Amino acid sequence: MQYISYFYEILNKKLNRLSNMKTIKILGTGCSKCKQTEANVKDAIAQLNIEANVIKVEDIQEIMAYNVLTTPVLVVDEQIKIKGRVAQTNEIIEILKQS
């Protein structure tokens, strides 16, 4: 019985950590600006020492679903934060702190 409660406690901690994890999407077709934005996002995550689910969206149909005309686009938790330019690391850090 003790093992079950211990396992349940560990599982709850992991689920809570996952539910608080941010989802960051970089929308872009793979140009140099999109790649730089992705690198800056990873750098910001490392500097903040947080876990985040980083998704690179290159499919044009998926990008169009966000109703944007220029890339790269930075999306945090399904909210467009920056579009049409490279998001700088310090900007991303501030966005992640506020989100």
User: Where residue 80 sits, what CATH number does that domain have?
Assistant: 3.40.30.10
pTM (two decimals): 0.80
What confidence tens digit (pLDDT) does each residue in 74-94 have? 999 999 999 999 999 999 999
Q: What pLDDT does residue 18 have?
A: 58
Catalytic residue among 18, 21, 31, 64: 31
Q: For residue 59, tell me if it sits in a domain.
A: yes
At CA 49, angle to CA 87 and CA 45, rounded to 5? 20
Q: Considering only residues 1 and 36, tell me which one the structure prediction assigns the higher pLDDT.
A: 36
Cα–Cα distance, 86 to 97 (Å, whole number): 19
Residue 1's pLDDT band (cuts 50, 70, 90) = low
**Average pLDDT estimate for 51-63:** 93
What confidence tens digit (pLDDT) does each residue in 6-29 have? 666 666 666 655 557 899 999 999
Structural domains in the chain (count) = 1
The secondary element (H helix, E strand) that includes residue 94 is helix 89-98
Residue range(s) defining the domain that contains residue 61: 22-98
User: Average model confidence (pLDDT) for the chain?
Assistant: 88
pLDDT at residue 32 tops 90: yes
Catalytic (active site) residue 34? yes
Catalytic residue among 24, 27, 34, 86: 34
Catalytic (active site) residue 56? no
Q: For residue 8, tell me if it sits in a domain.
A: no
